[in-house]
Structure 1
Amino acid sequence: MKNHAHDSIGCCCSDKVHQEIANRFFIANEKTDQLITFYKRKIVDSIDTVREEDRLTFFNLSPHADRKVIRAEVITKLEDFQLEKESGESVPYHVIERDILDPGLIDRQIVHYGNYEPFYKYTIEIQLALPALSYDTLFVALEQSADQSEVAATTEIEAENITTSLYEVTVNPNGTIDLVDRRTGQAFEGLLLLEDSADDGDEYDYSPLLGDQPISSHSSRPTIKRADSRWGTRLTVSHDLKVPYNLEERKNGHSSSHVKVTLELDFIHDEPVIGLVVSVDNVANDHRLRIHLPTTLQSQVSFSDHQFGEIKRPFIDDALQVWEKEDWDERPDGIFPMLSYVGVKDNETNHGLGIITNSSREFEVIPNPSPTIAITLFRSVDVLGKEELVRRPGRPSGIKLPTLDSQMLGTYAFEFGFTMLRPEDELSSIAKRYLTPFVTYNKIPHDAMRLNPTGLRLKAASHLFSLTDNGLLMSTLKKAEQVDGLILRVYNPTDQVIPLSFESGLPDHLFEVDLNEEGSKDVRSAIQQNIYFVKPNQLKTILMK
């Protein structure tokens, strides 16, 4: 929050201010990433084991046990290797890619002393089960079976079916997919249609261009490729959409520009969330690019998350009938923000569709002919404030200052996931699990920066505690600021009262404190008896000793 200037949290600033804010975030992210790497290294360096090989350590940062398919990097001088547990048991993996690294990129002292033998960087796929809040270590040993060393092959297709344990997927020639949930029979067709429309708005608000005809990928014939691995399939769909260069071309019905869009979908055999990364190379101006996920659900409301809970909104605001008559400043369209997810469920069956985001956070549910969730990838405009918009008549919302950087020219990547929902599924829990991936640290003998020994002797695998997976979400686990202990913060995004309870590792002392970590209400007995309740949209902070 301290990185932002006035209005910049809504992306409403001059180009110079946005450049300064971006630089602040770059520095903050770099410090954070390096600090995380530092502590991962301290843990892995402190593992006391008789094994002398390089290490690949996996961390589960969730308070629940989980099994995931992970993509990880292994840097080694071995041309063939296998991953082993400390006991010597081999763990299967699949090589996605292998690159040769100059040793000077690892540590310049290596080449300084005349050693030019290259390193290999492997991108691998591996499936592991980890306890809650834990780490586990594999060792990079010499030799491996032939099937592990083969790099995954990519094949070009026109249309094809993909089957996982949960879904039947039909890939259509235009790059959309039809999806059937094998557990329930629920089916949706034409998912992932691209829509490009004019944006006659400003940094504050989207506004359509009167008479505009949106361009879609319905008639597109993209390049479609698939790569199969041991645990799933990656589908790559590459579009080249012909679009107008600016608003003038749209008004005149011309299209002299292109937007290249690549969708990478990951179908993991036993994973309910389908991973999606959308990469865009934008060279056009004054437009909005969205991705559509149409449904056949009977519903009038969406649900999405805010800071510590969930909010339901109608697709169409009743005020649309009166906003002009009552002289509102802005038309109340159904374009809304989300933090990490948005979903729609059927009124009768309670089946549904959910979208999870780790990037763009704007959506609209288009009600007709049936609910279609439209996710905004980006908006491209050239002015801070603009007057007389279709959606906001009258004065500019901000000053009329050119902001050419807001045309979003260049290459961008957007990360999402989407999933079919059963009646018992809580999208909040699914999104939290998906957005909390296992992280890794690859320990090799060469370190560009030397560290003093920690003096600790850690096991090759360890875990802290486990919470009952009942719908409560953990937002924070950190060291206490004033005393010796840990701070656990949980919140309830559901519409039910839920107890906080531990599956394992119940601490000796548990105290409820406020957000300033003050107060000392003893709640261990209530938590142990499963009667310490968290209300809907409520958060609780617990000091653990």
Structure 2
Amino acid sequence: MKKKVHVIHHTHWDFEWYFTNHESFIQLTYHLDEVMNALETNMIDVYLLDGQLSILDEYLQSFPDQEERIKQLVTSGKLIIGPWYTQTDELIVAGESIVRNLDLGISLAEKLGGYFNVGYLPDSFGQGKDMPKIYNGFGMDKTVFWRGVPNYITEDREFFWSSEDGSEVLASNIKNGYFIGGGLIYSDDAQGLMKTIEEGAPTDQLVLPVGGDQRYVDYNLRERIELFNNELEDYELVESSYDTFFDSLDTTDLQHVSGEFISSSVSKIHRSIYSSRYDHKYMNDKIERRLIYQLEPLMLMAKKQGIPYKQGLLDRIWKLLSKNQAHDSAGGCNSDKTNKIILDRFIEADQLSYSAVDYLTRKLAESRAVVCENDLLLFNTLPYSRKKIEKIAISIESEYFNLEYNGEKIPYQLIRTTKENAGSIRKKSEDMDPNKFYFIHDILIDIEVPALSFVELTIIERNEPNETSLNVTDEMIENNYYQISLVNGDIELKDKKANIVYDQFISIEDSGDEGDTYDYSPPEEDKVYKLDFSNTKITTIKGKLQETLEIQGKWQLPKDLAARVTGEVLKEIKYVLTLSLESDSNYINGHLVIDNTVLDHRMRLLIKSNMSNKLSYSNTPFGTVEREVIDPYLDRWKELGWREEPTSIFPMLNYVNVHNDETNLTVFSKGIKEYQLVGDSFETVALTLFRSVGFLGRPDLIRRPGIASGNEFKYVPTPDSQLEKRLSFKFGIQLADYYDPSQLMKEFQQQVVTLPFYQIQELNRFTTTLKYFVSNPLLHDVVKQEMPTIELEKLNFSSIRQSRDGKGIEIRVYNPNLVESVSGSVIELPQATKWHFVNLKGDQLTEPRVNDKIEIGIVKPGEIKTIKLY
């Protein structure tokens, strides 16, 4: 019996790469003419348009007259589109970003006649362990991908892939790449091509994808299929689709595997791409947090007050972000001109999302029944009550003030006061009115705000001086949990609860980097610098709510790779490291700002754990991953023919944790996406702050021998990727009694999600851009509304937003535990409400109920649950 070869005619349309999206759009406008003509004239049977809608979305903005033509081809099953908006990265973007990406893609595709109901990601740099449950959540039970499967896990091309909650998809692993079918078009070695694609195939159904990057339609496809069929006795080639291929598979004896796939045993995986273009990754992280944890919930709060929920605005912002989360875009392995466009999209998304939060908080604040000058409102956009020390700025006429809540004084800590002129600006400062001025006070405030609500404070101006923080000369700060000291240029931490001292607790490592925007590679000759904090200027501030240690200094580093060989120290890097301790918190806040003036180097933040480690733990889009500190194949990867060195450099979303029975250390980040455990006993957590490199791809790297990644035929310089500019890094460190992954994400949300605030005042019209605009209050009074409140028992809150159909609210939670099912979590509702469980797509899973309390029930390890309220 002949083996059937399913020829999948497709294109892989990189959204952008060494070319810009604008440049490839020109190709697309003509490419789609060829595709549609070929399908309509029956020159080809079926065509897969790379599984993403972003390119069609942009095409139809310019050519809306082609929409009906595309619809006819989609509904007839000839043109296959979706399910993604862009082909996402799976490892360093938030789970809700992945959900929104599919949500956008599916919604657009359904308007055009339907979507490819397969998780199709042919070129993402690794497969995240949560993808099976995400796919199942959208009603998908199949996936197609290329990179990352370890050949020591399975060498099969088809297998079942599961998540820890029991979700499972049937996977087809295109081990030779989505372009392997070029051999059908350009080579007459039919038998050789068949040998390649059947290696590891567990059944007599084979896949041959014919396509490539921005590839044209192969008009001679049928001619080449006929030629091969005439030469082959044991194989039959047919024009096909992945749906047909999956339907033809006998799945009886297929293997079952689980986990993430980030191995270089078969394909390049670029395990250090997570630190390329850190500036972009920081922006992505910030905008994700604002959208998920602030803007979407705030729009629900505003809708409750009669302000329309702007789904179109959210979609616009999510589209910008999704474009930047396509695999190349997220990785940063692009030309400088492309990265500039990516940065512009980040800036646009940042301004839109920030301004939307600003508009809504102002509209709500100014629409209350009683609005008084110097009212100060703080908003909690998370569905649980939060007690938090928050940094805010107020503008008042007086240099001194109190804060009151319900008639009682509340504590605050003054950080700084700035005097600003309130009159018209003049060319000469002496011509300005000296009697027109106001003060801007930056303060810390200790406040508790109910779930999805706001509190109203009053600023009372007065004449007596404020209680101020103390600037002291010692080099130590402390609270109930820690004492942090600078001792002979080293940062020392004392854990008061455990009575343990960590010497050289925080340090910086700088090494050369002869790699490219895909991968770190150590130079042939290098000098690694362990940087301390000697010869510095120290500022210590001690207040009732927070103590801060600020260290200003300079490091001397070689200018470039050549200087590292000679040992010459030619460049000065200025830095400021700030460490802060809140009065009753075991969370250490860190903020490092550097002026990078050095080329071709990697800088890492080192945190000493004082324990030997064999495993590390990090959060994933909807769960937790446990990783071995050292790859068991590290010493044999070359003789085994692996594509890259399996260095234990790993991706992270928000934190990395190490723990044993006595100690539990977590390092959190806001935009830092890469870590490694280093040291003789792997006692040190190394976060890669950034890599500074000058080429998109380089050949013959120590960690990645052979041809260059990217374009193997041309060096593409990327001087902007050297990041010669000011860089800011925000991180946190926590020592705790025990390891609980749900508590770690709760701590992360508590620390990084700020409380938006608004002050009623007209002195300073430039607190935000929108403050200068006039704004009508609502035609009715804003009153506090009760909203759903989540009480989570070892679960994590993921999102709350309006459902896509506009008929309800969707609340999503998940269990981050690897092995433990949990129960006991509830959602308190303000009144009896109709609700039911839905999947990630929003499809109903259970019969509706009406209650004023939702018991979420048993949640399996890693399971996602979404509740829709009407």
TM-score (norm 1): 0.91
1:41 is matched with: 362
Question: Do residues 24 (structure 1) and 345 (structure 2) align?
Answer: yes
Alpha-carbon distance between aligned partners in 1 of 2:616 and 2:324, rounded to the nearest angstrom = 32
Please name the residue that 2:416 is paired with: 97
**Structure in which a larger fraction of residues adopt helix:** 2
Give the Å deviation of 1:507. Answer: 5.2
Secondary structure of 2:653 counterpart: coil
What code does the residue aligned with 2:705 have? Answer: P
Are the counterparts in 1 of residues 378 and 758 from structure 2 also a CA contact under 8 Å?
A: yes
Q: How far apart are residue 153 of structure 1 and its match?
A: 4.3
| Greater relative contact order structure (CA < 8 Å, 6+ sep) | 1
1:146-185 to 2 correspondences below 5 Å: 146-148=465-467, 150=468, 152-157=469-474, 159-160=475-476, 162-180=477-495, 182-185=496-499
**Residues of 1 paired with 2:389 and 2:465: CA distance?**
21
Q: Among residues 112, 119, 123, which one is paired with 2:438 in the alignment? A: 119
Aligned to 2:401: 81
Identify which of 389, 394, 402 aligns with 2:701: 389
Aligned residue for 2:833, secondary structure, equals: coil
Shift in Å, 1:145 = 5.2
Check the 8 A contact 1:472/1:498 in 2, yes or no.
Answer: yes
Task: Tell me the secondary structure at the aligned position of residue 793 of structure 2.
Answer: coil
The aligned counterpart of 2:788 is: 465
How far is the alpha carbon of 1:329 from its aligned partner?
Answer: 1.3
Distance 2:588 2:610 in 1: 19
Cα distance, 1:536 vs structure 2 = 2.0
Separation in 2, partners of 1:95, 1:177 = 27
Residue 270 (1) aligns with residue 584 (2): yes
User: Partners in 2 of 1:124 and 1:354 — Cα distance?
Assistant: 28
The structural deviation recorded for 1:528 is: 4.7
- In structure 2, what is the equivalent of residue 365 of structure 1? 677
Judge which range, 509-518 or 317-326, deviates more.
509-518
Structure 2 CA distance, aligned partners of 1:527 and 1:318? 53
Match of 2:101 in 1: none
User: Does the 8 Å contact 1:82/1:145 carry over to 2?
Assistant: no
More deviation in 471-480 or 523-532?
523-532
Structure 2 counterpart SS, 1:7: helix
Residue 761 of structure 2 corresponds to 444
The separation in 2 between residues aligned to 1:116 and 1:533, in whole angstroms, is 65
Tell me the amino acid that sits aligned with residue 677 of structure 2.
V
Give, in whole Å, the separation in 1 of the partners of 2:385 and 2:601: 44
- Is 1:61 the counterpart of 2:375? The answer is no
| Aligned-pair identity (%) | 27
* Alpha carbons 1:166, 1:183 under 8 Å: kept: yes
- Summarize the Cα distance change of 1:119–1:169 in structure 2 as closer, same or farther, 3 Å threshold: same
Q: Which moved more, 1:201-210 or 1:443-452?
A: 443-452
Moved more, 512-521 or 392-401: 512-521
Question: Relative to structure 1, is the Cα distance of residues 451 and 417 closer, same or farther in structure 2, using a 3 angstrom cutoff?
Answer: same
Q: Is this contact kept in 2: 1:242–1:256, CA < 8 A?
A: yes
- CA gap of 1:387–1:506, structure 2 versus 1, over 3 A, is farther
Structure 1 segments unaligned to the other structure (5+ residues): 107-113
* Structure 1 stretches of 4+ moved >6 Å: none
Q: Is the 8 A contact 1:62 1:132 kept in 2?
A: yes
Write the distance in 1 (CA, Å) between the matches of 2:777 and 2:532. Answer: 60
Structure with the higher fraction of residues in strand conformation: 1
SS across alignment from 1:320: coil
Distance 2:514 2:447 in 1: 49
Task: Name the CA shift for 1:7/1:116 in 2 (closer, same or farther; >3 Å).
Answer: farther
Aligned residue for 1:454?
778
Which runs of 5 or more structure 2 residues have no equivalent in the other structure?
1-321, 426-432, 766-770
Instruction: Choose which of 837, 840, 853 in structure 2 pairs with 1:515.
Output: 840
2:723 to 389, 392, 408: 408
Separation in structure 2 between the aligned mates of residue 101 and residue 512 of structure 1, nearest angstrom = 54
Corresponding residue SS for 1:30: helix
CA contact (8 A) 2:832 2:850 kept: no
- For residues 785 and 620 of structure 2, what CA distance do their matches in structure 1 show? 33
How far 1:360 moved relative to its partner? 1.5
Distance apart, 1:414 and its partner CA: 0.9
Question: What is the alpha-carbon distance in structure 2 between the residues aligned to residue 24 and residue 247 of structure 1?
Answer: 33
Once the two structures are TM-superposed, the CA of residue 484 in structure 1 deviates from its matched residue by 3.2
Deviation at 1:462, TM superposition (A): 5.7
TM (normalized to structure 2)? 0.58
Q: CA deviation at 1:433?
A: 2.1
Q: What is the distance in 1 between the residues matched to 2:379 and 2:372? A: 21
2:62 maps to none
Match of 2:646 in 1: 332
Partner of 1:227: 541
1:65 shift after superposition: 2.0
The more displaced of 279-288 and 446-455 is 446-455
Following the alignment from structure 2 to structure 1, what is the Cα–Cα distance between the partners of residues 552 and 485? Answer: 17
Can you list the C-alpha shifts for 1:313-369, whole angstroms capped at 9, x where unaligned?
1110001022011111100001111011111001x33x2110111121111111414
User: What does the per-residue CA deviation read over 1:435-493, in whole Å, with 9 as the maximum and x for residues that have no partner?
Assistant: 2232222221365212222123234x665232123222222111223243211111221
**Contact conserved, 2:398 with 2:463, CA < 8 A, in 1?**
no
Superposed displacement of residue 141, structure 1? 2.2
- 2:614 equivalent among 300, 307, 316: 300
1:353 equivalent in alignment to 2:665: yes
The code of the aligned residue for 1:386 comes to R
Describe the superposition over 1:242-295 as per-residue Cα deviations: whole angstroms up to 9, x where unpaired: 100000000111111122221111111111211111101011111111110111
CA contact (8 A) 1:64 1:133 kept: yes
The amino acid of 1:39's aligned partner reads L
* Corresponding residue for residue 71 of structure 1: 391
- Aligned 8 A contact 1:512 1:540 in 2: yes
CA contact (8 A) 1:198 1:214 kept: yes
How many Å separate the matches in 2 of 1:194 and 1:142? 45
| 3-state SS in 1 of match to 2:754 | coil
User: Following TM superposition, by how much is the alpha carbon of 1:133 offset from its aligned partner in structure 2, in angstroms?
Assistant: 2.3
CA distance, structure 1, for counterparts of residue 435 and residue 598 of structure 2: 45
Conserved in 2, the CA contact under 8 Å of 1:523 and 1:532?
A: no
Query: Residue 414 of structure 2 aligns to a residue in which SS?
Result: strand
User: Aligned equivalents of 1:77 and 1:411: distance in 2?
Assistant: 34
Partner of 2:237: none
Question: Relative to 1, partners in 2 of residues 1:244 and 1:294: Cα closer, same or farther, differing over 3 Å?
Answer: same
Aligned counterpart for 1:133 among listed residues 436, 452, 455:
452
* Letter paired with 2:744: L
Report the residue type matching 2:367 in the other structure: S
For the residue of structure 2 that corresponds to 1:192, the secondary structure is strand
* Whole-angstrom distance in 1 between the partners of 2:572 and 2:704: 29
CA shift in 2, pair 1:147/1:140, >3 Å = closer
Larger radius of gyration: 2
Q: Output one character per residue of 1:160-201: Cα deviation in whole Å (capped at 9) or x when no partner.
A: 3x3311223333231422231x33345433121011111111
d(CA) in 2 for partners of 1:31, 1:474? 24
Q: Judging changes above 3 Å, is the alpha-carbon distance between structure 1 residues 115 and 189 closer, same or farther for their aligned structure 2 residues?
A: closer
Alignment size in residue pairs: 529
Partner of 2:746: 429
What's the counterpart of residue 377 of structure 1? 689
Residue of structure 2 equivalent to 1:236: 550
TM-align CA RMSD:
2.5
Instruction: Compare 429-438 and 392-401 and name the one that shifted more.
Output: 429-438
Q: Secondary structure in 2 aligned to 1:171?
A: strand
Conserved? CA contact 2:373–2:760, under 8 Å: no
Structure 1 residue aligned with 2:23: none
